[in-house]
Amino acid sequence: MTNVNPQKQMSKEAMAPEKFAGTKRLDRFMEVWRRFRRNPLAVAGLVMILLMGVLAISADWIAPGTEFDPGYDIQNLPARLVRPGDTFNTGFLDDYGNPIYESVGIFGTDHLGRDMLGRIAHGSRITLLVAFLVVTISMTLGVTLGAIAGFYGGVSDNIIMRVIDVILAMPTILLAITIAAALDPGLHTIIIAVGVGAIPGYARITRAQVLTLRDQEFVEAARSVGANDFRLIRKHILPNCMAPIIVEATMGLAGAIASAAALSFLGIGLAPPTPEWGAMLADGRRFMLAGEWHMTVFPGVAIAMIIFSLNMMGDGLRDAFDPRLRSAGFSKKRFKRQLQAIEAKKAGAKEV
């Protein structure tokens, strides 16, 4: 349009555009955040996850390592299996010949005298790392495959979706065990094993979204100005189907943590000194009946809490992204109404 109509003066606004630069870029995000904030459970979940992040960051401060041992593997054998709040006999005598007792960390110690709090703190790093890597990898693959299947349809759709169906046909945990058993043990094995099982979810969601979006007029409009397929998918289709994918990813974080813990619990995850929460749970299982509850309860609660918070946040995000799909949540009023309905039914049944 540069050679058009040189006589026509540009308007005043055109002369000084800087003044009018908009500030509405963040509006959509703020709108989602505003709705998210109104959901107390979701906010609680977010806070919990942030706390977990703080725990992971401060692990080296909570349980500093030594020259020889990492912070999660400092064994203090006299302090084996000390419950929270208990003291243990250090084996030393004080000046009067009495044995010296010392207290341990607030979560107690495990069967090798390692501080449980330190191990859980260090474990949160692994848990979060595994969760984020699994989700990143499976989301990237799943979204790519789903987008290709949905956008091109036909043969590629058939091939991709049948492979996805095959993965879906196997129970996730069984699939993960099979993959983990086939590869060398280690962090990458867990990530691959858990990640493969998560791909179908992303692929299906993305495909469904792409199918509805690819025939939209704005996609056709972009094509009519010369955009190629890659640009159409990347710039026009994917940004418009991110909301359900983000929700799936949040939920997927929880699922990945659970699966990784399950693998470690079964002993096919990370090698022993690693403070993976699932592995700690497996360690504690042996001592549970002997009354050493703290070895199972703390890792168990840690796993449960992070999964719970992620699920809460995922629910909140879904509602925030799409107010029309708002899930009802708990309401006292409706609970009362339902109770009344049940009672009325009972009363009616008696009369008959």
Show the site string, 12-51: x = touches another protein by CB under 8 A, - = not.
Answer: -xx--x-xxxxxxx-xx-----------------------
Decide: 205 and 165 in contact? Cβ < 8 Å: no
Q: Assess 220 for contact with another protein (CB under 8 A).
A: yes
Contact region for another protein (CB under 8 A) — 121-129, 135-143, 183-191, 212-220?
A: 212-220
For residue 93, give every residue at least 6 positions away whose Cβ sits within 8 Å of its Cβ, in sequence order, or none.
99, 100
By CB under 8 A, name the one of 80, 83, 111, 223 that touches another protein. Answer: 223
Determine how many CB atoms are found less than 10 A away from the CB of residue 310: 26
Q: How far is the CB of 29 from another protein (least distance, A)?
A: 12
Q: Assess 347 for contact with another protein (CB under 8 A).
A: no
Determine how many CB atoms are found less than 10 A away from the CB of residue 320: 22
Q: How far is the CB of 146 from another protein (least distance, A)?
A: 18
Length of the chain: 352
By CB under 8 A, name the one of 155, 169, 225, 347 that touches another protein. Answer: 225
Upper half-sphere CA count for residue 271 (Cβ side, 13 Å): 5
Q: Which amino acid is at 258?
A: A
Q: Assess 158 for contact with another protein (CB under 8 A).
A: no
Q: Assess 211 for contact with another protein (CB under 8 A).
A: no
- What is the rounded distance in angstroms from the CA atom of residue 47 to the CA atom of residue 313? 9
Strand ranges in 109-172 using DSSP code E only, listed in sequence order: none
Q: How far is the CB of 103 from another protein (least distance, A)?
A: 57
Q: How far is the CB of 269 from another protein (least distance, A)?
A: 40
Q: How far is the CB of 59 from another protein (least distance, A)?
A: 39
- What is the rounded distance in angstroms from the CA atom of residue 113 to the CA atom of residue 320? 46
Decide: 196 and 138 in contact? Cβ < 8 Å: yes
- What is the rounded distance in angstroms from the CA atom of residue 236 to the CA atom of residue 117? 47
By CB under 8 A, name the one of 4, 169, 289, 328 that touches another protein. Answer: 4
* Residues of this chain that bind another protein (CB under 8 A): 1-5, 8, 10-11, 13-14, 17, 19-25, 27-28, 216-218, 220-227, 231, 235-236, 239-240
